[in-house]
Chain A
C-alpha cells in the first residue's frame, strides 16, 4: 500500500466519473487551485481541500483548430470557472466560430470511451 492511496488526478477523475467538476481549495492562500496537485502553488502548503464546482463559467479565450487531414474544425477555449480557477475546455452544441469571449457556459462531462476517460466540456448557458 503506498503512503497516499490516490493521486490528485485520480481523485479529480473519480469526481468526473460521477459527473462532478472538482477542484482544490487552499485555506492558506484563500484561493482555488487548478489543476489538482500535491502542493499549493500560491502558498507552498500541502494542505489542499477538495471542492466541487458549480460548473458555471465564462469564456476567457477561444480558438478553432482545423485538423490537417479529415475532420471538422473544433473549438478549444479557456474557461474561467466561477469558483475562481481557469481551465482548458471545449464549448460544444454551437458553431465553434460562434464561441465568443465573455460567453457564459456550463460544464458537462464528455462520456468516457475505451481510450479516453470522461472529461469536462461546456455548453452555452441557456443555449
Chain B
C-alpha cells in the first residue's frame, strides 16, 4: 500500500452503536446501521451521502449485501473483507485506496455483534480443523496462551507483568462512562481469578459484550468543510502471517512488526512521535507484544515496560485510553473501537481520560490468533 497518499483521506465521523447488552431483537445489521447513523450525525453529513460500504461481522455471511439493502443503497464500492478483529484497519487502507482512485466519495466502515445476547458459540461458529480440533483448544484463548508461554520462557515475562496490563486498562475504563467494567481491579485479583488457559485467568482475557459502530471517511479535500476537525490517515500498514496458531512462525514476534514499519514509513513518523496508542488487547500479552513490535520498547522488554503503571493513567505512555477490550467493550471483533477512540482523542473529546495535546495516535488491529495485523496512524491537521 505504498502508493497511498499520506493525509489523503480523513475520518470525519465516529460512533459506537449501543454497547454491552443490546435490547431484545437487535441484529448485527441494525447495529451497523445505528453506528452509521450516529457517525453521520457526528460528521454532519447525511446517511444518503455515503456511497462506499466496508463492513465485517461473523454473524452475517454477506453483511455487505445486507447492510446495503438495509440502507437502501447500491454502493459505488463495497468491501467486506473479514480477517478477524483487525478487518477494520484493513478497511481503512482499502477505503483510502478507493477514495484516492475516486471509486467512492464517502466511505462508511461498520461493525455489529450480538455475541453476548446470543452466546459466543452462536455468534462465531467453531470451525473444524483436523490438525487442531482433537486437542480441544479453547479458541482463541488457548492460542494466545501458547504465545504467552513462549514470551515467558524466552524473555522472563511474568504473570504479574501481564496482570499490570489488565489493571491499567481498568483504570482507564473507570474514566470512560461507556465502559462495561465499573469497579477497580488489582494485580492480585487478576492472578486469583478463574483460570481459563494458563497463564491466563478470565481477567487476562477480553470481555464478551454486544456492540457495533462505524467510522466515516472521505478525501482530505471534502473533509475540510465539515462539522468537526478531520482526523487524517497519515499511515497504514497490514500483514498476514498465518491463520492457525500452529502455523505461526515465531510466537513472540507478530505481524505488527512489518505492518507498523509500513505505517511509520508512510507517515514519516516513528514510535516516539506517537502521542496515544490504541492496541488490540484481546489478551494481556497482546499489549506487550504490540508495544514491542511497534517499536515502543525493545523485543522482550514489553513485560518490564508495562510494570509499575507506565501505560496506566498518569503513566509515561497513554495506552488503551478507552479501557480496551479488557474493560471497555469487546464485541467479538474489536478493531473498529480502537479507531473510534483514537479519533476522539485527537479531537479532544475524551473528557476525564483525554490525553492533553494529543496530535498523533496509533490504532493497531489484531485478528484471528495473532494472524492478521494492521496499523493505522492518525493525526490532526497540525501533523499534515
Q: Are B145 and A60 in contact (CB under 8 A)?
A: no
Q: List 28 A-B contacts (CB under 8 A).
A: A9-B130, A34-B131, A35-B247, A61-B149, A62-B149, A63-B148, A63-B149, A65-B138, A65-B141, A65-B196, A65-B197, A66-B196, A66-B197, A73-B195, A74-B136, A76-B137, A76-B142, A76-B197, A77-B146, A78-B146, A78-B245, A78-B251, A88-B131, A88-B132, A88-B245, A101-B150, A116-B134, A119-B130
Chain A residues lying within 8 Å of B245, measured Cβ to Cβ, are 78, 88
Cα distance A17–B83 in the bound complex, in angstroms: 35
Residue B197 contacts which of A13, A63, A86, A90 (CB distance < 8 angstroms)? A63
Interface string of B123-136 (1 = CB under 8 A from A): 00000001110111
- The number of residues on chain B lying at the interface, defined by a beta carbon within 8 Å of a beta carbon of chain A, is 27
Question: Which of A13, A63, A116 is packed against the most chain B CB atoms within 10 Å?
Answer: A63
Chain A residues lying within 8 Å of B251, measured Cβ to Cβ, are 60-61, 78
Q: A9-B130, A63-B145, A101-B150 are in contact. Are A78 and B196 (CB under 8 A)?
A: no
**Residue of B with least CB distance to A89:** B135
A interface residue numbers (CB < 8 A to B): 9, 13, 34-35, 60-66, 73-74, 76-78, 86-90, 97, 101-102, 110, 116, 119
Least CB distance, A52 to chain B, in whole angstroms: 17
Cα distance A77–B150 in the bound complex, in angstroms: 11
B window 142-183: CB within 8 A of A: 142, 145-150, 153
Least CB distance, A57 to chain B, in whole angstroms: 13
Chain B residues lying within 8 Å of A9, measured Cβ to Cβ, are 130
B246 within 8 A of A: yes
Residue A64 contacts which of B130, B194, B198, B247 (CB distance < 8 angstroms)? B198
Cα distance A10–B251 in the bound complex, in angstroms: 29
Q: A63-B149, A65-B142, A76-B137 are in contact. Are A35 and B131 (CB under 8 A)?
A: yes
Cα distance A66–B202 in the bound complex, in angstroms: 11
Beyond A65-B138, A74-B136, 8 additional contacts (C-beta under 8 Å) are A35-B131, A61-B147, A63-B142, A63-B149, A64-B197, A65-B197, A66-B194, A76-B135
Least CB distance, A66 to chain B, in whole angstroms: 5
Least CB distance, B202 to chain A, in whole angstroms: 10
**Residue of A with least CB distance to B130:** A9
**Residue of A with least CB distance to B134:** A119
Residue B246 contacts which of A13, A62, A78, A110 (CB distance < 8 angstroms)? A78
Chain A residues lying within 8 Å of B199, measured Cβ to Cβ, are 63
Least CB distance, B67 to chain A, in whole angstroms: 34
The 10 closest A-B pairs by CB, nearest first: A63-B145, A61-B146, A119-B134, A64-B198, A88-B246, A101-B153, A65-B197, A35-B131, A61-B150, A61-B149
Cα distance A73–B199 in the bound complex, in angstroms: 13
Q: A87-B246, A88-B137 are in contact. Are A97 and B131 (CB under 8 A)?
A: no
Chain B residues lying within 8 Å of A34, measured Cβ to Cβ, are 131
Interface string of B194-222 (1 = CB under 8 A from A): 11111100000000000000000000000
Cα distance A66–B138 in the bound complex, in angstroms: 9
Least CB distance, A108 to chain B, in whole angstroms: 14
Least CB distance, B233 to chain A, in whole angstroms: 32
Cα distance A92–B86 in the bound complex, in angstroms: 36
Q: Are B246 and A86 in contact (CB under 8 A)?
A: yes
Cα distance A90–B134 in the bound complex, in angstroms: 9
Q: Are A66 and B246 in contact (CB under 8 A)?
A: no
Residue B195 contacts which of A66, A88, A89 (CB distance < 8 angstroms)? A66
Chain A residues lying within 8 Å of B138, measured Cβ to Cβ, are 65
Question: Which of A9, A89, A110 is packed against the most chain B CB atoms within 10 Å?
Answer: A89
**Residue of B with least CB distance to A66:** B195
Q: Are B197 and A110 in contact (CB under 8 A)?
A: no
Chain A residues lying within 8 Å of B247, measured Cβ to Cβ, are 35, 86
B window 338-364: CB within 8 A of A: none
Least CB distance, B293 to chain A, in whole angstroms: 18
**Residue of A with least CB distance to B132:** A88
Chain B residues lying within 8 Å of A87, measured Cβ to Cβ, are 131, 246
Q: Are B150 and A76 in contact (CB under 8 A)?
A: no
Least CB distance, B98 to chain A, in whole angstroms: 30
Chain A residues lying within 8 Å of B141, measured Cβ to Cβ, are 65
Cα distance A97–B198 in the bound complex, in angstroms: 9
Interface string of B242-263 (1 = CB under 8 A from A): 0001110001000000000000
Cα distance A102–B154 in the bound complex, in angstroms: 11
Chain A residues lying within 8 Å of B197, measured Cβ to Cβ, are 63-66, 76
**Residue of B with least CB distance to A118:** B134
Q: A9-B130, A65-B196, A65-B197 are in contact. Are A76 and B146 (CB under 8 A)?
A: yes
Cα distance A90–B339 in the bound complex, in angstroms: 39
Question: Which of A88, A97, A102, A116 is packed against the most chain B CB atoms within 10 Å?
Answer: A88
